[in-house]
Amino acid sequence: MADKKYDIVIIGGGPGGYVAAIRAAQLKLKTVLVEANNLGGICLNWGCIPTKALLRSAEIYHFIQNADEFGLSVTGAKFDIRKIVKRSRDVASQLSGGVAHLLRKNKVEVMDGLGKLAGSTADARMVTVEKDGKLVATLTAKNVILATGARARTLPGLEPDGKLIWTYREAMVPKTMPKSLLVIGSGAIGIEFASFYRNLGTEVTVVETLDRILPVEDEDISAHAHKQFEKQGMKIITGAQVKELKKGKDNVTATIDKDGKTQSITIERVVLAVGIVGNVENIGLEDTKIEVQRSHVAVDQWLQTAEAGVYAIGDLVGAPWLAHKASHEGVICVEKIAGVKDVHPLNTSNIPGCTYCLPQVASVGLTEAAAKEQGYEVCVGRFPFMGNGKAIALGDPEGLVKTVFDSKTGELLGAHMVGAEVTELIQGYGIAKTLETTEAELMSTVFPHPTLSEMMHESVLDAYGRTIHF
């Protein structure tokens, strides 16, 4: 059994943990990363990356099905779900190996096992590492970073069984394509799976408890996406709840309640996408001062918990539940520990969020409604994809760019997009917000032609009554 001393012990090797470990090594801190499963965490192995591989396959198939619109003729097009899944898993495997390489390159020690807080002294924290129920190491460090992530939330009476009722894990590796699917929840995860299966021909029904899909997005964006999904043949029921799932031999009958009226639908499979809960169990929080609020660890602006020398980052500490947020928190946390000058706390309003459905959705900052609720007087600009030459040439003229400004100062408060490649475009507004750019700088910026990015410029112009091309 190993007994070692470190500057930092990091528990969890997802996008928060492994980035924190690499940055710590760069700052010459003796670091060990403890991971119980796969390097890269849920994001790389079962979330962000492999789902994008799946969605890419579905997108290409969608274009093939609509080849005639481009003057092309494709006959006999079909897909092999086993090959689609294999490609997705190969992508995940490749990148997990890449993370291992980066850690070796930066001379980060990696320990295979389950890390757990195990008490402290005046100036040190102790962490035990277990593998297969056996203690394999006791580690001592000045600081510990908890990066254990989160898992899918379940609902009483709607528990997944891995066969008929799926979480994201089962939805990513189907052995056969279901002819019909119910998705419970219309956040990013739910909508991405709904989009994937629908574009491969599955009859998809989405049920959302709130009054609109993609509820964290701006209302105009979610309304536009809703319209496009229904145009693709997706059935969407908002303001409704699934009251019961009755399992048959190879199907499920769902009872759906909307406005006090119930209906039953029978589908082959169900995907639960009703949020996540933090992995706060079995990591030694019980005998500490660490506070857990609604399954997430409470931290201050520097990611410090109420327990001296113990920090927490990523999905474990709450929204927004995004890999890039976790990575940035990891860097902030480590740099603060190392005493790096001019470290700034994370401003979550500058973090873009992306949903890789068809059409794509992306946003950063405040929605129009949220800005008004916070007391801002706003200038709002909108520009449709149908006014953009590149979008028309691509055959993707359905979409919208929306910008929200403080009418008094010109500050960019938020930007919201739906349509082709908006997940790549949103970084422009992310940079603008980080640089505290006003409408004046954005108006004077020259955007290249012909590009989709021109719509970002036109939306700013529209907020001030100066749009040119619509």
CA separation for the pair 308, 120 (Å, rounded): 9
Burial of residue 196, with CB atoms counted within 10 A of its CB: 0-12 exposed, 13-18 middle, 19 or more buried: buried
CA separation for the pair 206, 189 (Å, rounded): 12
CB under 8 Å to 344, separation ≥6 — which residues? 332
For the chain, what's the residue count?
470
Task: Name the residue type at position 361.
Answer: V
CA separation for the pair 65, 151 (Å, rounded): 35
Calculate the alpha carbon distances from 194 to 48, 127, 229, 238, 324 in Å. Answer: 15, 41, 9, 15, 24
Dihedral sign from CA coordinates of 211, 214, 218, 219: negative
Structure tokens at 68: 């005639």
CA separation for the pair 465, 381 (Å, rounded): 8
CA separation for the pair 352, 198 (Å, rounded): 26
Check 226, 344, 449, 469 and give the catalytic one: 449
- φ/ψ (deg, to 5) at 25: -65, -40
Q: Are 163 and 268 in contact (CB under 8 A)?
A: no
Task: Find the largest Cα–Cα distance for the chain.
Answer: 73
CA separation for the pair 222, 331 (Å, rounded): 33
Can you state the angle between helices 323-338 and 17-26, rounded to 10 degrees? 30
Q: Bridge-partner residues for 414, per DSSP?
A: 365, 404
CA separation for the pair 445, 442 (Å, rounded): 5
DSSP E strand boundaries for 283-376: 292-293, 296-297, 310-312, 353-355, 360-365
Task: Name the residue type at position 426.
Answer: I
Which residue bears the tokens 């199907």? 251
Q: Are 55 and 172 in contact (CB under 8 A)?
A: no
CB under 8 Å to 72, separation ≥6 — which residues? none
CB under 8 Å to 113, separation ≥6 — which residues? 34, 35, 36, 129, 130, 131, 136, 137
CB under 8 Å to 341, separation ≥6 — which residues? none
Residue 38 CB neighbours (<10 A): 17
457 annotated active-site: no
| Residues taking part in catalysis | 449
